[in-house]
Amino acid sequence: MATFLLPLLVLCPLAASLIIFISAGRMGARGAGTVACAGIGVAAVLSIIVSVILLSGPTGRELQVTLWPWVHAAGFSADIAFILDRISMIMILIVTIVGLLIHVYAAGYMRDDPGIARFFGCMTLFVAAMLVLVLSSDLLCLFIGWEGVGLCSYLLIGFWYDNPANTAAARKAFYVTRVGDVALLCGLLLLATATGSPRIGAVLAAVTNGQVSASGISMAAFFILLGALAKSAQVPFQAWLPDAMAGPTPTSALIHAATMVTAGVYLIARLHDLFVMAAPVMALTAVLGTLTLLVGACAALVQSDLKRILAWSTISQVGYMFLALGCGVWQAALFHLMTHAFFKALLFLAAGAVIMRARHEQDIFHLGGLRHAMPGLTVTFVIGASALAGLPLVTAGFYSKEMILSGVWHVRFGLTRDWTVTGHPLWAMALLGAFLTALYIFRCVFIVFFGKAGTVVAGRTSRLMTVPLACLCVLSLCGGVIEMPDTLPSLHLFSALLDPATPLSHADEPVWLVLAGAVVPLAGLALAWMLWGRPSSVMRGARTAGGPDGRHDVLSRWQDIPDRAGIAAGALMRAASARVFAVRAGFLDMLARWSGRIGRRGARMLERLHNGRMRWYAAWIAGGLCMALAVAVLS
């Protein structure tokens, strides 16, 4: 039965996309939304069914199906084949269920857009490509899904193509991710040629059995890491994701929560046995993840566009996942991927509803006081913000982030035989990132919903948009209780689900480690309230009610300290950002000059070689043939 259901799982959104595209715009808004939601809904039901079938079997069971042979050459073969194991099971559940909620929301959000049929055609194709990526049992088949995700992101980011800024953002995303795609293809081909098979199971078995040299493993892992960094918008490839906010809000939610950005995390988790054998690449992954989570958090702290704040937040949170992958706790990375899908989809969809009712105003300083006009959306956004900040015990984000912090604290990097490095500095920086996360997201909450009233609000949030928001609220609050630290009531259902043989557990975890992860987000929340959440009318009254002794003036000066500190911090951040941009511009300018010089010199050399003299051509051919024969004899 599974051999029939797995291809059908991918076929449902693909068929919905083809139906919508073939209609060539003749299908109305309601029809396109119905077809798209039906295709994703059936895929979600099928994903639940195949997951039950997988879990009802023995431990370690895998469901495999080969659709058709693709490449068969001497000693090499590649097939279009799918596999369902526990890692891909988690991913298809996230992609289909969260994707369904986003599609239902989009049916209400995009109902007045004249290009709604094209929008839903691209969205359903996006989900189909992501399902191909996570279900593939063959590296080349996985690359097809990888490229399909990149193509759909280009189409959706530039959906409103009449605006040149949107098409520029789409091209930027396409170019940056193509760099990573080339590197990924190099890494996949290195593995396939070194092991003689592109099948993921065969590749990992050959790597663990020592059939591939250490240098080959490190080189392949490095190339695959580059591809994952570009697709997941990690340093130094992070620049494309904030500009991707040019697309419709449901597109942003799908890219950030359930599909493209998480593809790099899934790829490294799928090939974690390969990366374990490449310790320097693992350490590099952890360092880049840590750097990214801090860069993303600092950038979000100085943004004024609501969607760009959430975009930089995604970069930061995916940095946590890469940190966990680099530390070898890939179960924690996938757990945070799941909870992040819940609360980031919730935040983007809630932000989209706010922007729609605020007449497409996205500047947080032009919004304000929305808790009175939008009480339901206020609660929704606060729930998402609390989960993102990781407020203790009551949000899913706390449990997944705590799982990462605990894993990072216990890790040790064996870079060489005699050189071992502890993960404590990375843990400290990740804890700082948790503080900054609470600070920037509650800055947004206090300014937008509790600040001084700004733009005029109109309309109501439709029921089609409200139901997905309510479902995501429940998941953002309760979706993390399946994995709890040992200092609380010990529960490790998620890690046991992924790896029943060795569930992730830290029985010797000190209590203060969990307390630190709980207190730091609360401290960020408290500082955000001091800087942006205090009632301004009360403070103005305190400044004007001074008595003869001047005590109120002294009080007001003390109460102005957080404001001045915030202004100073913002000025320092802007100065640092300007310096970084200047250094980067100078580096790119130097790189452009050197590449131009190299290109011109290479062109002159080619001109000298291609001089039209046949005897020179014959000499080059003879010389190359002699070199090839010499290499063949010596090898």
One DSSP character per residue, 61-88 reads --EEEEEEEEEEETTEEEEEEEEE-HHH
Contacts of 203 (CB under 8 A, 6+ apart): 139, 191, 192, 195, 197, 271, 274
- 503 pLDDT more than 70: no
E strand map for 156-223? none
How does pLDDT run across 412-423, given as a tens digit for each residue? 887 666 777 788
pLDDT band at 541 (very low <50, low <70, confident <90, very high): very low
504/488: higher pLDDT:
488
pLDDT for 382 equals 96
| Burial class (CB within 10 angstroms; exposed 0-12, middle 13-18, buried 19+) of 266 | buried
Contacts of 374 (CB under 8 A, 6+ apart): 353, 354, 357, 449, 457, 461
Amino acid identity, position 13: P
pLDDT band at 4 (very low <50, low <70, confident <90, very high): confident
Q: What is the mean pLDDT of residues 459-483?
A: 92
Containing 38, the helix (H) or strand (E) segment is: helix 29-56
pLDDT band at 577 (very low <50, low <70, confident <90, very high): low
- 206 pLDDT more than 60: yes
pLDDT for 538 equals 38
- 614 pLDDT more than 80: no
Task: Give 484's DSSP letter.
Answer: E
CA pair distance 54, 6, nearest whole angstrom: 12
Cβ proximity of 48 and 93 under 8 Å:
yes
How does pLDDT run across 271-285, given as a tens digit for each residue? 999 999 998 999 999
Cβ proximity of 154 and 126 under 8 Å:
no
- 361 pLDDT more than 80: yes
Closest to 458 in 3D by CA, of 362, 352, 360: 360
Amino acid identity, position 545: A
Q: What is the mean pLDDT of residues 265-294?
A: 94
pLDDT for 604 equals 73
Q: Which pair of tokens denotes residue 588?
A: 């790119």
pLDDT for 412 equals 83
CA pair distance 328, 333, nearest whole angstrom: 9
For residue 554, how far is the Cα from the chain centroid?
Answer: 48
488/206: higher pLDDT:
206
Query: 167-174 long-range contacts, Cβ below 8 Å, gap at least 24?
Result: 168/243, 169/240, 169/243, 169/244, 169/245, 169/246, 169/247, 170/246, 170/247, 172/239, 172/240, 172/243, 173/240, 173/241, 173/243, 173/244, 174/150
pLDDT for 59 equals 78
Q: What is the mean pLDDT of residues 79-95?
A: 94
pLDDT for 75 equals 72
- 455 pLDDT more than 50: yes
- 200 pLDDT more than 90: yes
pLDDT above 90 covers a percentage of the chain that reads: 60
pLDDT band at 581 (very low <50, low <70, confident <90, very high): low
pLDDT for 556 equals 44
User: What is the sign, positive or negative, of the torsion defined by CA atoms of 182, 184, 190, 192?
Assistant: negative
CA pair distance 379, 359, nearest whole angstrom: 20
- 181 pLDDT more than 60: yes
- Residue indicated by tokens 């809000």: 249
Least confident of 188-192, 203-207, 250-254, 545-549: 545-549
pLDDT for 500 equals 76
Cβ proximity of 84 and 22 under 8 Å:
no
- 557 pLDDT more than 70: no
pLDDT band at 223 (very low <50, low <70, confident <90, very high): very high
pLDDT for 38 equals 96
Q: What is the mean pLDDT of residues 292-321?
A: 94
pLDDT, averaged across the chain? 86
Contacts of 388 (CB under 8 A, 6+ apart): 313, 317, 343, 344, 347, 397, 437, 441
pLDDT for 540 equals 38
CA pair distance 438, 444, nearest whole angstrom: 10
pLDDT for 10 equals 95
SS3 363: strand
pLDDT for 539 equals 36
Residues facing residue 413 across a β-bridge: 421
How does pLDDT run across 102-118, given as a tens digit for each residue? 999 999 999 889 899 99
